[in-house]
Amino acid sequence: MPQRRPSTRQKRSKPLPRKDTARRGGVAEPLEVEIEFLPGLEPFLKAELQRLPGSVRIFGGSEDALRLGYSGRPRDLHRLRTATAVFRRHTFAVPRPKALMGHQVFQELLAFLDEVRQEADFGSFRFDAAGRESSTFLRLGEELERATGMRFDPEEGELLMRLRPRGEEAWEMLARTTPRPLSARPWRVRNMSGGLNAAVAVAMLRMAGVRPTDRVLNAMCGSGTLLVERALMGEAERIVGVDIDPEALEMARENLAAAKRQGQVELRLEDATALADREGSYDVIVADVPWGDAIGEHAANAQLYRDFLEEAWRVGSKAVRLVVLTHELRLFEGILEASRWRLDREVQVFHGGHRPKMYLLRK
Ligand SMILES: C[S@@+](CC[C@H](N)C(=O)[O-])C[C@H]1O[C@@H](n2cnc3c(N)ncnc32)[C@H](O)[C@@H]1O
């Protein structure tokens, strides 16, 4: 293992004073940002970007990331609910990572990290790069630890720095602006196995449309991801969650309490295929139905999907928007075909090795 070398660099443990956008010649320059999302959620993320207070210029991306310039407060970007994570970008004119330790470039790196550290408190940092276990990265980690006062924790570090080459003569750094991904919500105090990704939940709710006059039902609510996210979006006439598992309802209760939204949501221990509600009780129905990966559950799912679609038809208003998420695509689409529901829109999401679809259905 390489020895720690004494550093001659000046220690700078606190970030520099706040600056929202870089200024050059008195003109504010947009922040260079990369936003990561689950493939499939791009249209929802773009719609959210349009609602931000600052101006956004998208100049590239891939199936799971958008590159953009943002003229506004960096913290606005932390409000994005369909993003997985937000990164600040900086390109260093160096041929290899070792050169980041050259005096001038190292000062440039510290200035970049100071800006990122304005956005959140980071006690530690780590690298995500090819060769991150090499002696170069170990030394870079040690130098940064000394200069910033943050702990170098290669596995769990909070400030995640991604390094990747850009052409022959430059390396780009992406620094995540929050200690945890944005999709890991602070309200999630109870985790259900099979719990829904919060960014997907937001996309489902946006697909259904969000209006303050809506009466919303989350059938088969589990630990309450859709309920919490809907309650956080603002008022609704009514928000109801039902599940047949008391343990799942307890989790939903605790998650809602952590989000300070328990008073806004009614939880009921009930079978979603035989609800106590009258006809036409809901304007929005959302359901992340059981997927049933295990053999033997497919038959039960077929019955459940059929019965649920019938019950949703009964309790839905004339203009009800029903959004269902499943990865039993063939099974669900066959049942849908034979039902009275009309398919309005479908979106496939790539997530955790699965490729479920969200279906927006109308009468
Ligand atoms: C995929 S999980 C939902 C996960 C949830 N979206 C979350 O984030 O935690 C499916 C849920 O459906 C519930 N369920 C299955 N059959 C049901 C039925 N007939 N009526 C009500 N709930 C049912 C299960 O108890 C389970 O909590």
Q: What is the CATH number of the domain that holds 298?
A: 3.40.50.150
Cα(243) to centroid(ligand 1), Å: 6
- Asked whether residue 269 falls in the same domain as residue 319, the answer is yes
CA distances from 301 to 62, 161, 242, 322 (A): 35, 43, 18, 18
Confidence class of residue 4 from pLDDT cuts 50, 70 and 90? very low
How far, CA to CA in Å, does 272 sit from each of 153, 276, 290, 332?
47, 9, 12, 17
Domain count for the chain: 2
Q: Whose Cα sits closest to atom 3 in ligand 1?
A: 222
Q: Fill in the amino acid letter for 128.
A: D
* pLDDT recorded at residue 293: 60
Query: Are 50 and 143 in a shared domain?
Result: yes
Residue 258: pLDDT over 70 = yes
Domain of 258, in residue numbers: 198-362
Q: Are residues 203 and 329 in the same domain?
A: yes
- Give the whole-angstrom CA distance, residue 119 versus residue 70: 15
- Of 244, 249, 277, the residue with max ligand 1 atoms within 8 A of its CB, to mutate for a pocket test, comes to 244
Please check whether residues 172 and 31 belong to one and the same domain. yes
* Residue 177: both structure tokens together: 């602006």
Q: Does the pLDDT of residue 278 top 60, yes or no?
A: yes
Over residues 189-211, the pLDDT tens digits come to: 999 988 999 999 999 999 999 99
CA 151 – ligand 1 centroid, Å: 42
Sequence-ordered alpha helix ranges (H) in 118-220: 135-148, 198-208
36 and 115 inside one domain: yes
Give 294-311 pLDDT, tens digit per residue. Answer: 555 778 899 999 999 999
- Asked if the model's pLDDT at residue 28 lies above 80, the reply is no
Which residue in 41, 62, 321, 361 sits closest to 197, CA to CA? 41
Q: Under 8 Å CB-to-CB from 85, ≥6 apart: which residues?
A: 35, 36, 176, 178, 181, 182, 183
Q: Does 316 lie in the same domain as 249?
A: yes
Is the distance from CB of 241 to CB of 267 less than 8 angstroms?
Answer: yes
182: in domain: no
Residue from 200, 202, 220 whose mutation best tests the ligand 1 pocket (most atoms within 8 A of CB): 220
Q: Who lines ligand 1 at CB under 6 A?
A: 192, 194-196, 220, 222-223, 225-226, 242-245, 248, 271-273, 288, 290, 304
Q: 49 with 138, same domain?
A: yes
| Residue closest by Cα to atom 5 of ligand 1 | 222
Same domain, 160 and 228: no
Strand partners, 89: 174
In a domain, 310, yes or no: yes
CB count in 10 Å sphere of residue 284: 24
Residue 167 domain flag = yes
- Distance (Å, rounded) from C-alpha 112 to C-alpha 166? 18
Residue nearest to atom 7 of ligand 1 (CA): 195
Number of residues assigned to the chain: 363
**343 and 239, same domain (yes or no):** yes
Task: Say whether both 165 and 285 belong to one domain.
Answer: no
Residue 188 lies in a domain: no
Distance between CA atoms of residues 44 and 150, nearest Å: 35
